[in-house]
Amino acid sequence: MKEGDVVLTPVPQADGIVKNRPAIILREMPPYRDLLVCGISTQLHQQVKSFDEIISPADADFALSGLVSESLVRLGFLAVLPRSRIAGSIGAILSERHERLLKTLSDYLAK
């Protein structure tokens, strides 16, 4: 598994329920190589404009992602997980999208 991979993993939700869902590996964290991931949802109405990203069948990396329907990459839905919690990789996003997500998150955190 590497940064930019779309993986399946149990991610804790705000309501405390842990649900297996797709997520994107944003960054490997020191010192134990845990993974910073952001959740992916089909609930497009939850999009935060200029922050979250929609990945749709028209996008160059949709087929590579392993996703089956238009989905929302939720940068506000973050978790740091040990590698052992990752069920497996289903695909990947293009490096351009990965870099854009990191820049959006970094810019927001630097405010």
- 65 closest CA partner among 87, 86, 93, 43: 93
| Distance, CA of 47 to CA of 49 (rounded, Å) | 6
Check whether 12 has a pLDDT greater than 90: no
How many other CB atoms sit within 10 Å of the CB of residue 61?
18
Return the minimum-mean-pLDDT range out of 14-23, 72-81, 92-101.
14-23
Return the minimum-mean-pLDDT range out of 6-15, 29-38, 57-66, 80-89.
6-15
Alpha helices, DSSP H only, in the chain? Answer: 62-65, 95-109
Mean pLDDT across the chain: 95
Q: Look up the pTM and report it.
A: 0.93
Domains and CATH numbers, the chain: 5-109 (2.30.30.110)
Average pLDDT over residues 59-80: 96
| Distance, CA of 111 to CA of 60 (rounded, Å) | 31
